Amino acid sequence: MANNNTVKLIGFLGAETKVIESESKTFAILRLATADSYKDKETEEWKDKATIWHDVILFSPALIEEAKAYEKGARLEINGSLNYRDFKVLEDGKEFTKREASIIAYKVKQAPPKKEQANA
C-alpha cells in the first residue's frame, strides 16, 4: 500500500528534545522552526518570512535516542506524516473544537547548512 501522507521539513530545532514516558509508551517531541525567504526587489537582499513552529513526534526508541543528541539550533531534516488531533477549548463560556497538526517522524537527520551559512 502506498503512503500518500508524506511530509519533509527542513528547519531549526527550537529547544532540547522533550522525552515523555508513561506506563504504556515513551515518545519524544521536537519543536522545529521553519521560515521561507524571498528576495527583496529593491535591495536585492534575501529576507525571511514569519517563522512557523512545527511539533514533531518520535515513537521509535532509536530515533528518540538519536534526537537527544541534537542541540537547540541544529538544522534538521524530518521525514514523516501529518497527524491531526481534535481537542476542546473553552472560550468566553463557549466550548469549541480545535484541530492541531503534528508530524509523526520516521526519519530525522542533520541537514546541511543553508547556502548563506556555508558561504559565510
Give me the pLDDT at residue 2, please: 60
Q: Distance between CA 73 and CA 13 in Å, rounded?
A: 5
- The answer to which of 2-6, 48-52, 97-101 has the lowest mean pLDDT is 2-6
Give me the pLDDT at residue 1, please: 52
Grid cell of 35 as nine digits: 521560515
Global pTM value: 0.78
Cβ(78)–Cβ(52) under 8 Å? no
- CATH dotted code for 7-38+47-112: 2.40.50.140
Do strands 52-58 and 94-110 pair parallel, antiparallel, or not at all (unpaired)? Answer: parallel
Give me the pLDDT at residue 116, please: 55
| Residue 105 burial class via C-beta count within 10 angstroms: exposed 0-12, middle 13-18, buried 19 and up | buried
